[in-house]
Structure 1
Amino acid sequence: MAEEAETEIGKLQEMTARARVVLWDFDGPICGLFASYPAEQVAYGLVDWLEGQGLRGLLTDGERESLDPQAVLRAVDRRHPRSDLALELEEQLTQEELRAAKSAMPTAYADPLMHTWSAVGARLAITANNSPVVAKSYLENRGLLSRFAPHVYGRTRKLHLLKPDPHCLNRALRAMDAAAQDALMIGDADTDFLAAQAAGVPFLGYARNQRKRKCLREAGATAIVDSLEPVLRVVRTMGGLK
């Protein structure tokens, strides 16, 4: 076990030493957006709204029972791409995310890690499927927005470009004039890993539970942590901090 832990720390040291730019997914690595305002409640709300519009048949039984509001939004956009319906549903999801952000739970060690990584010279960006308005609101309330601004890249009206498409990662890299190999993405979903892979960006998975770890492993991720604490220790050491 000691040897395995040593190997993991060595891998973290290598990844963080190379990273001049750190691309963060938002919900998961930075906070539990729906910690106090369940995502399934939001998903059911979107489904109820569609049914109220007489559009029950637009979703499959599986999609209607989805616990993921993003899955409901994707399903509508697949069938009616770039439509007013999809955009109205996206706006509803943004409002629900803003409501959830007020009671979001910070991920353990995330705040000091972001402050420390920025302090030792890395540049930070958000690359998320959540609304950028929501990410900015949360970061501002936590005193973190200055560590990222203006590099907050989230969901746009081009819903087909959500991760696993690498669009938001490529936007961040272009805006920061950074090469993919000089960046590192931190994410907790298979879509994060697949987007990083498509963009050529090294990936560090954050898995808060076994289900997340299994999902990341099955997608192909090999570097996964269940806490950001060892990452913080490595970054502090890298910067000569204690």
Structure 2
Amino acid sequence: MVLLFDFDSTMFFLFKDYDRKPLVLKLNNTLKKYGLEEVSDRNFFNCFLFARDNKECLKEINEIIVEAELDAVDKGYHVDGFKEIFPILLNKYSIGIVSNNSKECIDKYMEKYHNGLSLPFFGRIPLRADLLKPNPYLLEQALKYFNVKKEECLYIGDNFIDYLAAKEIGIPFLGMAYLERKQNTFKENNIPYVKNYYELMEILKWQKLKRWKRD
């Protein structure tokens, strides 16, 4: 089986406690410069969608967010149970990361916290905002890389858009929901989820994935 993980708030809290105000100000000033819609604090990744038809704006936005991602790697922390459980998963499963974050961000994270461990990564293409999740493109690339059937994968993510991307191409999905508001979103949409990596290990241990397979 192949386990595919989202990154931010699934493996590592990158922006959870990050001071986003300077970042959002930079992004909004850039968007305004090109006459585009401004973004909110929580949904600042929407700037890629707002600028999707303007390559110059996309380039500037990506540079701003990469800088913030690299800074946030130094200030973030792991999701509950990740550090204890992830080494076990690495010995049992093929693992990849499918994320809207940048390659620069993941490379720095791996170097800082995993001694430069190299995992297959399928992430943001700076000038192709249309390929970000919930578009399933990144998951499709992961399937091609691992050369496995959809039912032989599990995508684990913290966000509803992660679920939508997996559903689009029929990959089983499991939510990682530390926050109550995310648990409620998964509950309301009848999406299976766990609260931490200890619960994930129990799910995998008892092989309860078949009942989550979607039509």
Query: When the two structures are superposed, what TM-score results if normalisation uses the length of structure 2?
Result: 0.86
Q: Does the 8 Å CA contact 1:183/1:202 hold for their aligned counterparts?
A: yes
- Same amino acid, percent of matched pairs: 25
Task: Deviation per CA, 1:173-215: give whole Å up to 9, x if none.
Answer: 1011111110001101111000011121101101111211233
Q: Does the 8 Å CA contact 1:44/1:65 hold for their aligned counterparts?
A: no
2:25 maps to: 44
The question of 1:222 aligning with 2:203 is answered: no
Task: Deviation per CA, 1:66-101: give whole Å up to 9, x if none.
Answer: 432201222121xx25x1211221122111111111
The question of 1:162 aligning with 2:162 is answered: no
Give the Cα–Cα distance (whole angstroms) in 2 for the partners of residues 144 and 232 of structure 1: 23
- Shift of residue 123, structure 1, vs aligned partner: 0.5
Q: Does the 8 Å CA contact 1:43/1:67 hold for their aligned counterparts?
A: no
Task: Return the structure number with greater helix share.
Answer: 1
The question of 1:205 aligning with 2:175 is answered: yes
Letter in 2 for 1:151: P
Q: Does the 8 Å CA contact 2:82/2:197 hold for their aligned counterparts?
A: yes
2:45 maps to: 70
Give the Cα–Cα distance (whole angstroms) in 2 for the partners of residues 221 and 38 of structure 1: 33
- Shift of residue 40, structure 1, vs aligned partner: 5.0
1:13 maps to: none
Q: Does the 8 Å CA contact 2:3/2:95 hold for their aligned counterparts?
A: yes
Q: Which has the larger radius of gyration?
A: 1
Q: Does the 8 Å CA contact 2:20/2:41 hold for their aligned counterparts?
A: no
Query: When the two structures are superposed, what TM-score results if normalisation uses the length of structure 1?
Result: 0.77
Change over 3 Å in CA distance of 1:237–1:115 after alignment to 2 = farther
Structure 2 counterparts to residues 129-140 of structure 1, below 5 A: 129-140=100-111
Task: Deviation per CA, 1:200-242: give whole Å up to 9, x if none.
Answer: 1101101111211233344x3521112221223455678xxxx
Change over 3 Å in CA distance of 1:36–1:108 after alignment to 2 = same
Letter in 2 for 1:68: N
Q: Does the 8 Å CA contact 1:193/1:221 hold for their aligned counterparts?
A: no
Q: Does the 8 Å CA contact 1:116/1:235 hold for their aligned counterparts?
A: no
Give the Cα–Cα distance (whole angstroms) in 1 for the partners of residues 20 and 163 of structure 2: 21
2:8 to 11, 15, 27: 27
Give the Cα–Cα distance (whole angstroms) in 2 for the partners of residues 206 and 38 of structure 1: 23
State the superposition RMSD in angstroms: 2.1
Letter in 1 for 2:47: V
1:98 to 60, 70, 76: 70
Give the Cα–Cα distance (whole angstroms) in 1 for the partners of residues 71 and 31 of structure 2: 20
Q: Does the 8 Å CA contact 2:176/2:193 hold for their aligned counterparts?
A: yes
Q: Does the 8 Å CA contact 1:46/1:89 hold for their aligned counterparts?
A: yes
Give the Cα–Cα distance (whole angstroms) in 2 for the partners of residues 194 and 49 of structure 1: 29
Give the paired residue count: 206
Moved more, 207-216 or 34-43: 34-43
Matched residue SS, 1:28: coil
Structure 2 runs not aligned, ≥5 long: 208-215
Matched residue SS, 1:58: coil
Give the Cα–Cα distance (whole angstroms) in 2 for the partners of residues 73 and 196 of structure 1: 21
1:5 maps to: none
Give the Cα–Cα distance (whole angstroms) in 1 for the partners of residues 136 and 21 of structure 2: 26
Give the Cα–Cα distance (whole angstroms) in 1 for the partners of residues 135 and 202 of structure 2: 32
Matched residue SS, 1:22: strand
Task: Deviation per CA, 1:10-66: give whole Å up to 9, x if none.
Answer: xxxxxxxxxx00010000110110144234542232113334x3x4x411xxx4434
